[in-house]
Amino acid sequence: MEVAGLIFSNIHDSSISELTNIRTMASVPFGCRYRLIDFALSNMVNSGITKIGIITHNNYQSLMDHLGTGKDWDLARRSGGIKILPPFFNTYDNSNGGRLYTSRLEALMGVSSFISRCSEDHLVLSDCDGICNIDLSDAIDQHVKNNADLTIITRKVTVGIDDIPERSKVITANESGRVTDVTNYMKGEEVKEISTNIMIVSRMFLLNAIGDAGAHGYSDFYRDIVAKRAGKARIFRYLYEGIFIQITSLESYFANSMKLLSPEVRNGLFDVKHRPIYTKLRNSAPTRYTEDAQVRNSYVADGCVIEGVVENSILFRGVQVGKGTVVKNCVLLQDTFTGNNVNLNCVIADKNVVIRDGRMLSGHESMPFFIPKGSMV
């Protein structure tokens, strides 16, 4: 079964504006050496998808730098491979006033030429702010078996325990898995199943829906396409029960990064047989721990030099921890440099931050202290 992929690189950017001010949601670094898009891309590649369109909006320079030719995902192909789909404007028709798309449906309308040029029967659509390691081929099989127009991948959540994003879509389905209704999540509501925003759609169904939306001026994918056609079109749900991390805010980014220290989450994402998560290789040297290094319960990438104390922390590639420095409960992004005798607690340092000798910075679990990219403290 031929399937192509389509990734929304900017959806929900505003929820974590500290990190997306200078980059797309897709290129937000996560888990020592990855960027969020790596999960969506790897899930697709691991299920045999070799043609993937990436819909961009703005600030996608860091994303293009990360993707390169796509060779790190084995997507540097003569036919297929990675196709970056920048925002499309008709040069002479200014009827939309130069406005970029604002919704999922408008984004899809903007790439309708890509969709119509695909020869594949089905498309997998995915956002980047949901992190998981899912066997998409199983969901695709079910989609085909059901002869479905659309299969929405859902996950179970418990109010009060799981972090449920405000804009979540609650999926109601009957016993055979057929979706009967889609509603917006209201705070405090007892919900069981919400959309992961990963879905499999038949290409012809999608093209029809886009055409119809254009004709009627529709703008909301779930309201105007899914909810309107629920019960009529063959829309199914596929329940995913593995590890799923949803980034909804800076606090959630911090808390979810810390979740990687638990073996269950770590193994559920990175230690799945035949389904590794790929990323851009950087050829960093292995990490060097000196005689005075004291590292406990931490997740560390290659290319670091650790001369001090690191506890309960996530260190990205090329982080340097100086002598006498104590780093606790921190997320230090690529190439963060800390001098000697620095003390950090609950800090998120964006790329290339320099923290000079003797500085002491602390946030709190509920409100991590954020240092923007390239700052010097």
Partner 1 sequence: MFRKKECVAMLLAGGQGSRLYALTEKNAKPAVSFGGKYRIIDFTLSNCVNSGFDTVGVLTQYQPLVLNDYIGNGLPWDLDRSWGGVKILPPYQGKKGADWYKGTANAIYQNMQFIDRYDPEYVLILSGDHIYKMDYAKMLDYHKKMNADCTIAVIDVPLKEASRFGIMSTEEDGKIYKFAEKPKNPDSTKASMGIYIFSKDVLFRYLNADAQDPESSNDFGKNIIPAMLAAKERMYAYPFSGYWKDVGTISSLWEANMDLLGEIPSLDLHDEEWRIYSRHESHAPQFVGSSAVVNNSSITEGCEIYGTVRNSVLGAGVCIKEGAVVSNSVIMDNVTVETGAKINYSIVDEETTVGAYASIGAVQKKAKGITVIAAGLDIPEHSVIGDNEMISEVAQIQTKEEM
Rounded least distance, CB 273 to partner 1, Å? 13
Question: What's the one-letter identity of residue 121?
Answer: D
Nearer to partner 1, 179 or 258 (CB): 258
What are the φ/ψ torsions at residue 48 (nearest 5 degrees)? 90, 10
Q: Is the dihedral of CA 183, 187, 188, 191 positive or negative?
A: positive
Rounded least distance, CB 66 to partner 1, Å? 14
Within positions 305 to 334, which residues make up the interface with partner 1, using CB under 8 A?
Answer: 305
Compose the 63-102 pattern: x for residues touching partner 1 by CB under 8 A, - for all others. --------xx------------------------------
Burial 51-81 (b: 16+ CB within 10 A, else e): bbbbbbbebbebbeebbeebebbebeeeebb
List all residues 6 or more positions away from 364 whose beta carbon is below 8 Å from its beta carbon: 346
Within positions 18 to 47, which residues make up the interface with partner 1, using CB under 8 A?
Answer: 31-33
The whole-angstrom separation of Cα 171 and Cα 58 is 30
Nearer to partner 1, 113 or 290 (CB): 290
| Site size for partner 1 (CB under 8 A) | 34
List 8, 101, 299, 337, residue binding partner 1 (CB under 8 A): 299
The C-alpha R_g of the chain, in whole angstroms, comes to: 22
Q: Is 300 in the site for partner 1 (CB under 8 A)?
A: yes
- 234-242, 289-297, 345-353, 363-371 -> range binding partner 1 (CB under 8 A): 289-297
Compose the 246-285 pattern: x for residues touching partner 1 by CB under 8 A, - for all others. --------------------x---xx----xxxx-x-x-x
Rounded least distance, CB 36 to partner 1, Å? 16
List 160, 188, 217, 286, residue binding partner 1 (CB under 8 A): 286
The whole-angstrom separation of Cα 308 and Cα 320 is 9
Q: Got the DSSP string for 107-141?
A: HHHHTHHHHHH---SEEEEE-SSEEE---HHHHHH
Please say whether the beta carbons of 80 and 51 come within 8 A. yes
Positions that interact with partner 1 (CB under 8 A): 31-33, 71-72, 266, 270-271, 276-279, 281, 283, 285-303, 305
